[in-house]
Structure 1
Amino acid sequence: MSLAGVVLGAPGVYLAPPAPQPRTATEPMDVAAFVGVTPRGPAYEPVSDPSLAGEGVGLAPSVAVPVDSWDEYQELFGGFDGPGLLPHAVAAYFAQGARRAYVVRIVRRVPRGRVERPPGCAHYRLPGGLALRSRNEGTWGNRLTIRLRFVPRALAARIRAGARLPRHAVPGAVVVPAPGSAVPVGALLRLRVPDRADALAVVARLERVPRPGTGGRDLVAVLDRVVAPPGDDDAAAAAVVELVEGELTVLDGDPAHPRREHFAGLGLQPAHPRFLPDVVRRESRLLAPPPGQPRGYEPAPDLGDWASGTPEVPGRDRWCFVREEDLFGGARGGDAEGTEGVEALLDVPEPASVVVPDLYAPAGGPARAEPASVPGSPDFRVCGETTARPPAPAPTGRDLRRLDGLALDPATPAGLEQVVRRQGRLVEVAERLGLVALLDVPPGLQAPQVLRWRSAFDSSYAAGYHPWLRTPGPDPAGPLEQLPPSAVAAGILARCELRAGISRGPANELAAGVVDVFDRVDEPAHGELHRAGVDVFRVEPGGVWLTGARTLSSEPRLRQLTTRRLLLMLQRAVRRQLAWTVFEPMGDALRAGLRRHLEQLLGDLADTGAFAGATPQESWFVDVGRPEADGPGRLLVRVGVAPSEPLEFLVLRVVLDAGGAIETDLDVGQERGVPT
């Protein structure tokens, strides 16, 4: 045996080496959260603290779910068949090289006091009274096929007829399993007695009883009913005992992504450790039990299968009724409060940025510019003025396919005002949660309009991206899809950090999978937008490139996105990794420990180029106050850093004099102009 590196031999006193001190490490900031509308996915999930649900029944309308790939997203939330832009955004995010995202499904809230069960779910009823529902709302639940088989397995056990037990005097109601046989309470047994009909019984409890003639004791299963005639020892001895367990198979007939679940070893009584409704509630992604099913179920003695392929109550899609309050919560007039929409990220520690591609549904789609043709090509022609994108055809089933409750037209003054107001609310929530909100400039705006949009924001917790992008859709032969640029920017953020750390500015990066932009930004407009803090995607040789990484803050020290993310990372590391200092005795040992941990963290960041200074003295300071100096039980620690800023401009001056000599002068800076 060894303990902390010490090999223990004979009894005695051993000296253990000191345990290594924990090291404060940097926190990852590459994970993004996505909030939007999907055709399926976790919603109205049970929560451990009913006060978080706000519906009075322990159900959270929105929950944040981690996904580590596009395939995992499809498994949980479906593909591109929904009405919103969320699947396109998540697919583009992972295409950039991101490793993880959190997804929050937006659903229509139900006023408080009226929620007895999650709305919009498909309900199924199997023989024997067993009821199940689709895990969450949507017409996807109407495609389920549910089958429950009862599998008997011979059990090494015998029936003891005429037994008498304390508090239980039912002759022939005791089964004695062989040593090592597992017969849990709540298990269903089938007893096959010669010349008699098969009988079913449930294990009511386990007891140790005296073994006749030996003085020993047997662990016996006490059944809930008579299974052999009193005194019929021959019938009891010849009986065969079978343990009956359920096997549940669920098939999802999604034509694009079929799913299958299988659960074995199920019991049909609440006392069973794998009671079917409990297992489904814990483990299934397709099914859940309706509320209020504490009773047990019992098949016929012939153990015929239970199956259902038609819902008793069909599931419904309710996305056309989703509205702004479902995105942000903030109930009014008695509506539900709590974990709606973006607020579901409150207790999720990983995400560092948030994207809401379905913050509004653009009416008519973004504008687009006609691509310039190459001179001399068969398609060469003179390009005219930028034209508006033709309206998209009305989707099939208008009441189900459109986000009517979120539809806004940013081309109108009233619509643009509403878009800006929603984005402002998102920034407020992001500041409260310690996230950076990645915003999309509304589609179809010209450069002066974009600058007016920009003037509505002043926060380092927000970054704005322009213009909207064009990417291939699910059908390679189909038309190009519109894509909010914030989704691609989130993926580029993740890619840059995973490759080079948090100090690497997410700019001058290629947007993978993007083939064009909806609005071409010329050089003069690019310069204006960059100086205003709007990050621009441009078509350059090799593809579409993100050319900026600034925030929407007017504070010069916080204009760089890397600076805000660095400060957020420091706050997270201090809050999460220095919690051990709470209730520590105040003294020099605590002060020295705090200084050591903080300097280790800052030194690691300096090694990645996060600070502007060449030495620690030029890069940061840590000032640990004196105990009780700021009041009883308080210790003030101040940390100052000098974040590095990315090189944005490289100006090369070339002078040719009359004698033919060439002089060059290299000028580097942050605000000297936009390179041409």
Structure 2
Amino acid sequence: MPTHTGYPGVYIEELPSSVRTIASVTTSVTAFVGHTRRGPLGRPVRVTSWADFERRFGGLTARSAVAYAVHQFFGNGGTVAVVVRAARAGSGEEACVTLESTEGRSECPVLEVHAREPGLWGSGLRVAVDHDTRTPDKTFNLHVLDSRGEARETFGGLSMDAGHDRFAETVVNDGSALVRVKVLDEDRPDPSGTVSKPFAERLPDLEVELKVKIGDVEREFTLYEPDRDGTAPADVTELALLLERKLRALPDAPGKHAFAGAEVSSFGRRLQVVAGSLDPDDVVRFVGECANDLGLEASVNPPVFALAGGKDGDPPGPRDLIGSEADKTGVQALRDVDDVNLLALPELAAYESTEDMVTVISAAAQLCRERRIFLLVDAPSAWGSVDAARAGIGAFDTVRSDHAGLYFPQLQLTDPLTGRLRSFPPSGTLAGVIARTDGERGVWKAPAGTEARLLGVRSLSVRLTDRDNGLLNPLGVNCLRTFPVVGPLVWGARTMAGADALGGEWAYVPVRRLALHVEESLYRGLQWVVFEPNDEQLWQQIRLKASAYLNDLFRQGAFKGATPREAYFVKCDKDTTTDADIERGVVNVVIGIAPVRPAEFVIVRIQQMAGRFDLS
């Protein structure tokens, strides 16, 4: 908006900048799809460390190749991963517990608590309930505990009334990462442990003998002894502290902590007594006339309510791994995820049927082509020798995509769960090596050579020689080798379309990945062009922005050539965009790059010098 000039003087205007830069996108964010111990089914979750994966997906388990692959990814230099949990349809079950209420009626189920996701992990959850809220007659608190009794989540002031702003279903289901609940009735769930009847304003005589039973252990004690306990409790809160001290002083059964860890709290002139145990059988019961007179037998429940019935889903089959494009499950869940550059499917290596492997690879390669992702393919675990690899590679001829690379053999690592050597598919480790290489050298550097060490790898399942490498490399198989001093490393950088017999232009992994990187960066960086006037001024801006971006890559060493003219070109003018294109609202940009290809073969010629040299 122009400045209104109302008097002679100097006026200042701030003008918006017309500079639009093209930023480089990520290069090594890796997606892992397959079976995990826990986690949301079919929903991509971004993790930035191994600890993050453990928290969201449950860590290592012998049945999850994905968990080990992610562990190796972060151990070799990976920084960001996207994990999609997949399982065989209908094979997993959520752990669950139903809480009951005795308020105004006989026992009645009022609240179902389910683990957030299917799996055996949910059976380790416990929930506890208390009524210690601002309105103890109407609301309640729900605590979610782990198998050790440590609080993981707490939701306070919950109501069973759907019209309440703290309605249990809404608050818990929106805020919990561990459980979800379903309200069955309007009554509140009973509290955990033993809850007394309300005490009167004036406390009764407390110099009484009480009998308490937890499990099979029964103890007797005097509730209040003037000579030992000092001033008598004046209110319910002081009574709770006295009773807790008395209970904790009682001897436990061998190996038990039920009395020693007992907790007594007060709310609404009531007492709640909870055993210091996670055993549902450790119910606190006060017996005898004195306990009845004090009202300590109003409601008796276990110290915690344990979820049960959780079952891990079976590892996904080929259809489960591919998933549904409509439901966005399996590999198809990545369609709506930005910034994914690599895809690993470590479970494929264990498939007995090569046909199943090819089916999944075909679907994954198609997705990679559409989303500009590079697929890391693990050689089948059945390839136990070079001859087996040469005989089996023909089965992959139908899926020789330039958006994928095949790596052989498997890795021998120490299993953190058992301490023993075990074979693992290499894709997770390779993704970490690629991320490390991208960070240190750039996406145009081949993730192979003496810098591409496989960290944490003890050995390889098949030890390859130069002759073996010479047989597999022309077939488009990237070899993993072991060399003296440097140890295991990557010794191949060809795509699956890089077999000598095919002779394609996308034979090398760094060339393909550099092109994908440039494509994605330009795709995002030129979004501003849409709906701009399609004329020479726009074409000039496009040439300027794209050339500046490519020149930055050239200066970093991404392209070959002594000058920018030799390294790349950007063409966007009346020759690329005709009058007919303008009528159709189309602008055509032609970009050419000269990527640096890896030096696979280094030939050193040595010539013997004959005769003598006179250096005088």
- What is the TM-score of this pair, normalised by structure 1? 0.65
Partner of 1:450: 389
Deviation of 1:88 after TM superposition, in Å, equals 1.0
Looking at structure 1, the residues matched to 92 and 37 of structure 2 have their Cα atoms a distance apart, in angstroms, of 14
| Residues 472 and 480 in structure 1, CA contact (< 8 A), matched pair in contact too | yes
| Residues 454 and 552 in structure 1, CA contact (< 8 A), matched pair in contact too | no
Of 342, 349, 353, the match for 2:331: 342
SS at match of 1:280: helix
Structure 1 residues 557-612: Cα deviation after superposition (integer angstroms, max 9, x where no partner): 21111111111112212222322222222223322222222112111211221111
Of 594, 609, 612, the match for 2:560: 612
**Aligned residue identity for 1:349:** D
SS at match of 2:338: coil
Looking at structure 2, the residues matched to 499 and 294 of structure 1 have their Cα atoms a distance apart, in angstroms, of 60
- Map residues 115-194 of structure 1 onto 2, 5 A cutoff: 120-128=93-101, 129-153=110-134, 189=135
SS at match of 1:359: helix
SS at match of 1:130: strand
- Map residues 30-109 of structure 1 onto 2, 5 A cutoff: 30-43=28-41, 62-109=42-89
**Aligned residue identity for 2:600:** E
Of 268, 273, 289, the match for 2:181: 289
SS at match of 1:647: coil
Structure 1 residues 143-180: Cα deviation after superposition (integer angstroms, max 9, x where no partner): 11112334434xxxxxxxxxxxxxxxxxxxxxxxxxxx
**Aligned residue identity for 1:326:** D
Looking at structure 1, the residues matched to 605 and 343 of structure 2 have their Cα atoms a distance apart, in angstroms, of 41
Deviation of 1:137 after TM superposition, in Å, equals 0.5
Of 493, 501, 507, the match for 2:448: 507
Counterpart check, 1:486 vs 2:427: yes
Deviation of 1:95 after TM superposition, in Å, equals 0.5
Number of positions where the alignment pairs a residue of Structure 1 with one of Structure 2? 479
Distance 1:619 1:122, change over 3 A: same
Structure 1 residues 463-491: Cα deviation after superposition (integer angstroms, max 9, x where no partner): 0101100011114x732121111221111
Looking at structure 1, the residues matched to 459 and 69 of structure 2 have their Cα atoms a distance apart, in angstroms, of 16
Deviation of 1:536 after TM superposition, in Å, equals 1.1
Partner of 1:656: 608
| Residues 122 and 134 in structure 1, CA contact (< 8 A), matched pair in contact too | yes
| Residues 42 and 136 in structure 1, CA contact (< 8 A), matched pair in contact too | yes
**Aligned residue identity for 2:142:** L
| Residues 628 and 635 in structure 1, CA contact (< 8 A), matched pair in contact too | no
Structure 1: which 5+ runs fail to align? 4-11, 44-61, 111-117, 154-188, 191-198, 201-243, 332-336, 363-407, 410-414, 662-676
**Aligned residue identity for 1:276:** A
Of 537, 559, 563, the match for 2:480: 537
Looking at structure 1, the residues matched to 612 and 179 of structure 2 have their Cα atoms a distance apart, in angstroms, of 81
Counterpart check, 1:640 vs 2:592: yes
Looking at structure 2, the residues matched to 41 and 120 of structure 1 have their Cα atoms a distance apart, in angstroms, of 13
Looking at structure 2, the residues matched to 634 and 604 of structure 1 have their Cα atoms a distance apart, in angstroms, of 27
Looking at structure 2, the residues matched to 273 and 24 of structure 1 have their Cα atoms a distance apart, in angstroms, of 47
Structure 1 residues 529-560: Cα deviation after superposition (integer angstroms, max 9, x where no partner): 22332211111123201112221113442111
Of 566, 577, 580, the match for 1:629: 580
Structure 2: which 5+ runs fail to align? 2-9, 102-109, 192-197, 199-266, 273-300
| Residues 535 and 549 in structure 1, CA contact (< 8 A), matched pair in contact too | yes
**Aligned residue identity for 2:580:** A
Counterpart check, 1:325 vs 2:319: yes
Looking at structure 1, the residues matched to 45 and 11 of structure 2 have their Cα atoms a distance apart, in angstroms, of 50
Partner of 1:375: none
Deviation of 1:350 after TM superposition, in Å, equals 1.4
Structure 1 residues 410-463: Cα deviation after superposition (integer angstroms, max 9, x where no partner): xxxxx3344344333332332233211111111343334423444424211110
SS at match of 1:552: coil
Looking at structure 1, the residues matched to 455 and 541 of structure 2 have their Cα atoms a distance apart, in angstroms, of 45
SS at match of 2:63: coil
Looking at structure 2, the residues matched to 533 and 599 of structure 1 have their Cα atoms a distance apart, in angstroms, of 34
Partner of 1:589: 537
Of 491, 496, 499, the match for 1:547: 491
Distance 1:421 1:622, change over 3 A: same
Structure 1 residues 489-520: Cα deviation after superposition (integer angstroms, max 9, x where no partner): 11111111112221221111110000100001
**Aligned residue identity for 1:314:** G
**Aligned residue identity for 2:330:** G
Distance 1:420 1:17, change over 3 A: closer
| Residues 125 and 308 in structure 1, CA contact (< 8 A), matched pair in contact too | no
SS at match of 1:289: strand
**Aligned residue identity for 2:72:** A
Deviation of 1:70 after TM superposition, in Å, equals 0.8
Distance 1:254 1:510, change over 3 A: farther
- Map residues 266-285 of structure 1 onto 2, 5 A cutoff: 266=158, 268-285=160-177
Counterpart check, 1:575 vs 2:469: no
Distance 1:270 1:298, change over 3 A: farther
Percent identity of the aligned residues?
30
Distance 1:608 1:281, change over 3 A: farther
- What is the TM-score of this pair, normalised by structure 2? 0.71
Deviation of 1:310 after TM superposition, in Å, equals 4.7
Looking at structure 1, the residues matched to 566 and 496 of structure 2 have their Cα atoms a distance apart, in angstroms, of 28
Structure 1 residues 45-96: Cα deviation after superposition (integer angstroms, max 9, x where no partner): xxxxxxxxxxxxxxxxx11111111111111111222413111111111100
Distance 1:465 1:478, change over 3 A: same
Looking at structure 2, the residues matched to 355 and 103 of structure 1 have their Cα atoms a distance apart, in angstroms, of 10
Partner of 1:314: 309
Looking at structure 2, the residues matched to 638 and 487 of structure 1 have their Cα atoms a distance apart, in angstroms, of 36
Looking at structure 1, the residues matched to 512 and 36 of structure 2 have their Cα atoms a distance apart, in angstroms, of 31
**Aligned residue identity for 2:312:** D
Counterpart check, 1:467 vs 2:409: yes
| Residues 144 and 252 in structure 1, CA contact (< 8 A), matched pair in contact too | yes
| Residues 127 and 307 in structure 1, CA contact (< 8 A), matched pair in contact too | no
SS at match of 1:600: helix
Deviation of 1:102 after TM superposition, in Å, equals 0.6
| Residues 480 and 488 in structure 2, CA contact (< 8 A), matched pair in contact too | yes
SS at match of 2:605: strand
| Residues 144 and 309 in structure 1, CA contact (< 8 A), matched pair in contact too | no
Distance 1:312 1:146, change over 3 A: closer
